[in-house]
């Protein structure tokens, strides 16, 4: 398939979308699942053991989505702070459920050792519609910057701002899915009036390190913890994963802050973005959740053991 023959049913090839095309795209979006049932009910159940705070609210065409963060108890200024985020892309299911599973089963393990801040579902509108973008056809994970156009990103930035300089770790939980090639990358090309260049979906788990602050030993510790749970993505024939050079088994690098990515918002020494592959015949949904949890636990463990880098 060449970029010249790539087709998306909205817009005119080579012409960026205007308001009419965005409205047509929005009209096609269907609610498939419930943020209240899948996420908020589990967050509410955590209130007995954790501090739960509402840090914002999205109001999309009369639908209100409260945004919640979870903190372990016994926060102290002298402790290192760690941030776990999921659901920046709402369709990446194990990011949300992996973050919740981690807090439910292991969130209490760090009291007295670290201040834990977890945000399990950054983009609830997109979670319900199993989509990458928000209601305005904006990708929150390219929007973590000052005067963000995405309400999801702006709210998280505001939550994190008072704690900048105190974070030792931020791990952001994602997935790479087959629908990236079948829907989301073609939609992006159409939205921006650019040709669609087909890519290759990696089969397995991988990590995205920060090219401006590489931490190879940290990344490899996370890979080693995940490998017994699910397989690690190999490099393609060009030595790459999703178009980026593989710098170590299962690891690529992006300039996180320059791209407006979530993992770049804290200034932490240790940052990583997980990428689980839920469409693999070798991975179940529970394995994907378990892989996210293994990654979080390994990341926190390494960060606490190596605070000076």
The Cα 64–Cα 42 span in angstroms is 18
In a domain, 8, yes or no: no
In a domain, 237, yes or no: yes
In a domain, 11, yes or no: no
Query: In terms of residue numbers, what domain contains 74?
Result: 19-305
State how far Cα 135 lies from the chain centre.
17
Tens of pLDDT, residues 217-269: 999 999 999 999 999 999 999 999 999 999 999 999 999 999 999 999 999 99
The Cα 287–Cα 3 span in angstroms is 35
Residue 137 gets which letter from DSSP? S
In a domain, 46, yes or no: yes
Domain count within the chain: 1
Q: What is the pLDDT of residue 140?
A: 98
Percent of the chain past pLDDT 70, that is, above it, reads 98
In a domain, 7, yes or no: no
Q: H/E element holding 41? A: helix 41-45
In a domain, 257, yes or no: yes
Q: What is the pLDDT of residue 307?
A: 85
Tens of pLDDT, residues 140-185: 999 999 999 999 999 999 999 999 999 999 999 999 999 999 999 9
State how far Cα 203 lies from the chain centre.
18
Closest residue by Cα to residue 205 from 133, 115, 136, 274: 274
In a domain, 13, yes or no: no
In a domain, 97, yes or no: yes
Whether this model's pTM surpasses 0.75: yes
For position 207, which CATH number holds? 3.40.630.10
């Amino acid at each position: 398939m060449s970029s010249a023959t790539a087709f998306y049913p909205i817009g005119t090839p080579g012409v960026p979308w205007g308001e009419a095309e965005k409205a047509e795209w929005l009209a096609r979006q269907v609610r498939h699942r419930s943020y209240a049932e899948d996420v908020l009910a589990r967050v509410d159940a955590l209130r007995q053991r954790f501090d739960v705070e509402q840090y914002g609210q999205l109001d999309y065409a009369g639908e209100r989505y409260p945004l919640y963060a979870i903190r372990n108890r016994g926060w102290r200024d002298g402790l290192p702070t760690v941030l776990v985020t999921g659901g920046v892309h709402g369709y990446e299911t194990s990011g949300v459920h992996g973050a919740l599973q981690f807090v439910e089963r292991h969130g209490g393990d760090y009291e007295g050792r670290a201040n834990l801040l977890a945000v399990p579902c950054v983009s609830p509108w997109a979670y319900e519609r199993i989509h990458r973008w928000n209601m305005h056809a904006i990708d929150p994970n390219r929007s973590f910057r000052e005067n963000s156009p995405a309400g999801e990103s702006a709210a998280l930035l505001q939550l994190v701002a008072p704690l900048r300089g105190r974070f030792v770790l931020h791990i952001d939980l994602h997935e790479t899915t087959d629908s990236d090639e079948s829907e989301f990358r073609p939609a992006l090309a159409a939205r921006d009036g650019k040709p669609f260049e087909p890519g290759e979906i990696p089969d397995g788990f991988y990590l995205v390190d920060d090219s401006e602050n590489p931490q190879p030993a940290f990344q490899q510790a996370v890979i080693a913890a995940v490998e017994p749970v699910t397989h690690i993505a190999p490099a393609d024939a060009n030595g790459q994963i999703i178009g980026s050079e593989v710098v170590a088994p299962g690891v690529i690098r992006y300039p996180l802050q320059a791209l407006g990515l979530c993992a770049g918002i804290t200034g932490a020494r240790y940052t990583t973005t997980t990428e689980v592959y839920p469409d693999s015949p070798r991975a179940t949904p529970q394995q994907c959740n378990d892989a996210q949890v293994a990654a979080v636990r390994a990341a926190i463990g390494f960060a606490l053991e190596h605070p000076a880098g």
